Amino acid sequence: QITLKESGPTLVKPTQTLTLTCTFSGFSLGTSGVGVGWIRQPPGKALEWLALLYWDDDQRYSPSLESRLTITKDTSKNQVVLTMTNMDPVDAATYYCVRSFRVWLVPFFDYWGQGILVTVSS
Amino acid sequence: DIQMTQSPSSLSASVGDSVTITCRASQTINSHLNWYQQKSGKAPELLIYVAFNLQSGVPSRFRGSGSGTDFTLTISSLQPEDFATYYCQQSYSTPYTFGQGTKLDVK
């Protein structure tokens, strides 16, 4: 059974750095074609893809946020960590951890965590 | 960035109806198109990948089609559990962008 779970602060102050951890089970990030990434959703709004880390350490970032994002992994702990610097109230959203899998080289997000709601306020 | 535009933004239907949601990409994305369903307060779930492939466990009343820039999600014989918001998402190039969503509610 594949599961992912997000953890981290639910409240951060403006200008602070957000660090979110995704702890997953049921698959290995060492398996070819597998990735773990992050997607966010502001309240009442659409989904926004942020970052993705593949089994081969290939990192992909949303260009609009790339300067603020870092995605890393700890394979031994089955964890992926996302850091986002200089948080602003517009970054308030539910942040989802997702597993990415590829078929015919086309990635899709087949498993999602429950999400963590992050508020940005002083 | 590739822009994904869904229509309609909202849709009302009844149990047993058949509905179609359209997704248009701002440039060709071949068949690199996925569909997700999101129920209120829950995480999205994958319905269809690579335009027309049904994710394991998804009922066969869901059908995806299209290629290039125009795609459709058809739900036949709507069931009560199908009332939700649906998103398309392109995986042709990063950033992997989503449509704005189509909310399907009960007429």
- Residues with pLDDT less than 50, chain B: none
Residue B87, token pair as written in the block:
């998103």
pLDDT of residue A97: 98
Q: Tell which residue, A118, A95, A100, has the closest CA to residue A33.
A: A100
Asked whether the beta carbons of residue B95 and residue A46 sit closer than 8 angstroms, the reply is no
User: pLDDT at position B86, please?
Assistant: 98
Best residue of B2, B36, B40, B91 to probe chain A, by most A CBs closer than 10 Å: B91
Other beta carbons less than 10 A from residue B41's beta carbon:
7
pLDDT digits (tens, 9 = 90+) for A59-117: 999 999 999 999 999 989 999 999 999 999 999 999 999 999 998 888 999 999 999 99
CA distances to A119, B16, B62, B74, B77 from B65, in Å:
38, 21, 10, 8, 17
- Contacting residues of A for B95, CB less than 8 Å apart: 49, 62-64
Per-residue pLDDT tens for A14-65?
999 999 999 999 999 989 999 999 999 999 999 999 999 999 999 999 999 9
pLDDT value of residue A75: 87
